[in-house]
Amino acid sequence: MNNPGDNGAGPARQEGRGKVTSPTFLKQILQEKGLHPHKRMGQHFLVDENILQKIIAAALLKPRDYVIDIGAGPGALSLSMAEQVAGVISIEWDSGLAGLLQEEAGSRGLENLHVVQGDVRRLDLEKVCRDTWGHQVLQHGAKEAIKVVANLPYYLTTPLLFQLLRGSLPVQLFIVMVQLEVARRIVAQPATRDYGVLTLLCRYYTEAELLFKVSRQVFYPPPAVDSAVVRLVRRPAPPVSVSDETTFWEIIDAAFNKRRKTLLNALEGTASLDRSGWKNVLEQAGLDPTARGETLDLEGFAKISEMFYNN
């Protein structure tokens, strides 16, 4: 493993090893280990080298970068990225796949690739990174950049984004492949069907962009839906200022938990405030109590939060 101060990328790939994006090679190494994909756990492995390289190009990897790959599987992304950056942490819950990836990294001489077997939802990612790369990589203003580049398991995408964006790990850039429906929710506009809490979460912490769609046919086995690659660039500060983030998100959650109701009806009882209290807050914020939460942008919810806080 490279030291955090190294400027060099990982070792070059060992000659003679096949590419994990090759369906023939992938099926061969899975068969050798007695492994097979579990669709119910979202195991759909990328088998298209062009898409792989498009994802890596979008990450703008530099030799000093440190990268986290979540749901690494047999390692198509991890193995390729480890050749270009200072360090890669590959997280995989499946012990068989984690062992396979560890062997592939060893066969290719990629000592800067660190495999962690476990459920990412139960891992202290900050501790994992600190123990692997050193505490200086996690410091504010560090020269090294931490990035998340991953093909996220479909069933974990939304809770993972909440965990990563609201956590303390200083990730500067996310390049993630997600279900196309989720990608549309991330970049949705107010008053549309896809607009919701996930949209506002990503907009509060990042600048989000849908980069390109990915056909279901480039995976083994193919999933039932298409995917898309999304870029999330961490903002230096949120675009709105709120005095109490807990209340701010509580208001947003309430508005979308009952998204077909008016703001007044949806917020009634939230934060122990009754209907008349919320009517007063909304009117003082200059908002129509009969409007629906799905019509408000971040600024609208910030106005409600601040008026509630100040009163």
Q: Based on the fold, state whether residues 219 and 280 are members of the same structural domain.
A: no
Say if 14 falls within a structural domain.
Answer: no
pLDDT in tens, 275-290: 999 999 999 999 999 9
Q: Based on the fold, state whether residues 253 and 199 are members of the same structural domain.
A: no
Q: What is the pLDDT of residue 311?
A: 82
Helices then strands, counting H and E runs in the chain, come out as 12, 9
Q: Based on the fold, state whether residues 87 and 179 are members of the same structural domain.
A: yes
Domain boundary among 234, 256, 288: 234
Domain boundary among 208, 234, 260: 234
Say if 8 falls within a structural domain.
Answer: no
Say if 12 falls within a structural domain.
Answer: no
Query: What number of CA atoms fall less than 13 Å from residue 226's CA on the CB side?
Result: 9
Flag whether pLDDT at 10 surpasses 90.
no
Identify the three-state secondary structure at position 143: coil
Burial readout 125-163 (b: 16 or more C-beta within 10 A, e: otherwise): beebbeebbbeebbeeebebbbbbbbbbbbebbbebbeb
pLDDT in tens, 86-141: 999 999 999 999 999 999 999 999 999 999 999 999 999 999 999 999 998 998 77
Flag whether pLDDT at 54 surpasses 70.
yes
Tokens of 171: 């990730």
Q: Based on the fold, state whether residues 219 and 302 are members of the same structural domain.
A: no
Q: Based on the fold, state whether residues 250 and 153 are members of the same structural domain.
A: no
Q: What is the pLDDT of residue 39?
A: 78
Say if 3 falls within a structural domain.
Answer: no
CATH of the domain at 224: 3.40.50.150
Q: Based on the fold, state whether residues 225 and 251 are members of the same structural domain.
A: no
Element at 299 (helix H, strand E): helix 298-310
Amino acid, res. 29: I
Q: Based on the fold, state whether residues 251 and 189 are members of the same structural domain.
A: no
Q: Based on the fold, state whether residues 183 and 294 are members of the same structural domain.
A: no
Q: Based on the fold, state whether residues 42 and 101 are members of the same structural domain.
A: yes
Say if 268 falls within a structural domain.
Answer: yes
Q: What is the pLDDT of residue 155?
A: 85
Say if 208 falls within a structural domain.
Answer: yes
Q: Based on the fold, state whether residues 195 and 249 are members of the same structural domain.
A: no
Say if 1 falls within a structural domain.
Answer: no
Q: What is the pLDDT of residue 143?
A: 77
Q: How far apart are CA 111 and CA 129, in angstroms?
A: 16
pLDDT in tens, 149-208: 999 988 889 999 999 999 999 999 999 999 999 999 999 999 999 999 999 999 999 999
Flag whether pLDDT at 6 surpasses 80.
no
Q: Based on the fold, state whether residues 127 and 206 are members of the same structural domain.
A: yes
Domain boundary among 185, 200, 234: 234
Q: What is the pLDDT of residue 130?
A: 95
State which residues form the domain around 262. Answer: 245-310
Q: What is the pLDDT of residue 16?
A: 53
Flag whether pLDDT at 14 surpasses 70.
no
pLDDT in tens, 200-252: 999 999 999 999 999 999 999 999 999 999 999 999 999 999 999 999 999 99
User: How many domains does the structure of the chain reveal?
Assistant: 2
CATH of the domain at 297: 1.10.8.100
Say if 240 falls within a structural domain.
Answer: no
Q: Based on the fold, state whether residues 44 and 151 are members of the same structural domain.
A: yes
